[in-house]
Chains A and B, each alone.
Chain A
């Protein structure tokens, strides 16, 4: 009995000593929730790389100065793409790992549930990539989102279609929406249903499919029969690859294809579908040919050199990179390890310079709901394997092809 007590006393003092040590090392622990296994792992790994790059830069530049040069330490938690696992992992990050903030969770459905956990424990949660409107519409005090709201993505897509029709004299009259049937896809589809009729466009196909569909042929055949002028697609990665291949196989020939970032902007998409992606347009957050700041070229080049695959930033990764800098600004401003203080700092950020400005609007600040004000989007078109900006027209870097060539006529 006595030996047991001594053992626990010893263990206790060791733990106490160890905790003192970690304090001496001065780390700010931040949790990152992303899918790192399962079907979306490839997207998660891409985002992880961007976070790591930003943290490397921040720590090499001296860490958080207002916290005596404390280093940021990211603790990754795998959501497996599941909203329930996202919740339990958020709980673990807060209670077991003691993180002062969380960044994540890529998928709308996972962000939606895991932000609830952070709200309960009063830990700030920064959302770089999820678009579901409701994430910042629940009156939460601890959720901050950089991404533009999904319903406004739909509005941008409709505006783009109308603008292209005017510019080329070949207006689209009908559209079809094909989307993965979770929160991300449904948000955009809902927006399309709202904004398309306002601009005189008829929706001839409104098709949600389960994300783990093994065969896309049925959906594609249905799309072919509906024969819309523009097909708006919204997918994660495996479904994006299968869809575009099946569309090519079945020779579906609309005036244009318009994606909604996510799977269509992932580096593995272009790698796997290759030439089939040519002329495919994509509404996205960001592109490497943006010119609003020289930082775009500079940081992308540095990132490309640093990462093992030598890949460019895509929209999602650029936002994760910039979001890490928003987190950095908030920590710097808070000058505290207290999540509540950091939350107040997030609410008060107003960023106009630094690497966070990779995000193409200024200043970066959050409204009372925690939504980034001024968030806006661009449209890119795949041209010879590169994502070139085509919309809004003033920042266009290449003349868009509209209508796209028929599959039978492509080489």
Chain B
């Protein structure tokens, strides 16, 4: 590195700004990664189902928000609620129609068939979208698309910050919901011990459906936060899915705040790491840190220790 960093010149100022920007961007984008991963974490944590159709759900939600915006001219932040409600029922029925029959038949807690089923459904959803909407990349133009706050040379992309703040708020709400309401307690009970929860009179299949619904709801919101500054495409899920799995394990399976925190960590590694090493290497850096974290804390950052 050159020494000019130590001297307050114009160049070093832009250097400093650029690192601060990279940090802020890492947090904002990481928060969104985390928020997207929350759904996966919740469903896995409670129902022990690995939902490989996770990315496809996000895609469905993004197309929904997109069409609501294009056809009904409703702003993504407003239609977020519509998308969330729709996705709740989408997830609920997905569990009800496709996964529950397998769970009832197989009697295992995590049958392999479910993995095949969810990955198959991912392909179906992606290809149906490809058939219906084509392979075009779509982008929306809202009043705040491409709007940047310029704070003394520090550039912050507006929709990213808005998305981050709303995600944080929703994570907070969900945590409260799981702690304070009866259904929330039932969900946590089922996640701790399905058999015991059932003996206490909890309808575990209903809990699964609700959890699938809530998880999908999160994706509905996430889609609305992404649409204003991202593109929409049938294969968009592929961009987020692998990262989501890493985040879920890193954050602790089933831990919502953990996933959010892990998302921010991954975002920071990605954004800051690329400033020092080649970005093609950053992906491996994420996995190195990921493995290191698991060696130190096998249950993830906020995961509960099990005996």
Q: Which chain A residues have a beta carbon within 8 Å of chain B's beta carbons?
A: 36-39, 41-42, 44-45, 181, 207-210, 212-215, 217-219, 221-222, 224-225, 237-238, 241-242, 245, 248-251, 268, 271-273
Contacts and interface: CB of A to CB of B under 8 A. Distances in A.
Contacts of B243: 214
Interface in B101-150: 126-127, 130, 134-139, 146, 148
B275 A268 contact: no
A212 B238 contact: yes
A interface, over-half SS: helix
A222 B138 CA distance: 27
Given A212-B238, A225-B18, A218 B282 contact: yes
Contacts of A219: 274, 279
Top 6 A-B pairs, shortest CB-CB distance: A41-B135, A218-B274, A42-B135, A181-B280, A209-B279, A214-B239
Contact of A272 (B29, B126, B137, B273): B137
A217 B280 contact: no
A217 B271 contact: yes
A282 B235 CA distance: 26
B112 to A, nearest CB: 24
A393 to B, nearest CB: 34
Contact of A39 (B26, B233, B278): B233
A210 B282 CA distance: 9
Which range holds the interface residue count of chain B? 35 or more
B157 interface: yes
A152 to B, nearest CB: 24
A409 to B, nearest CB: 15
A218 B235 contact: no
Given A214-B240, A238-B231, A268-B136, A221 B280 contact: no
B interface, over-half SS: helix
A44 B280 contact: no
Nearest to A240: B137
Nearest to B138: A272
Contacts of B234: 37, 41
B279 to A, nearest CB: 4
Contact of A212 (B127, B130, B239, B272): B239
A217 B231 contact: no
Given A215-B29, A215-B271, A208 B280 contact: yes
A38 B238 contact: yes
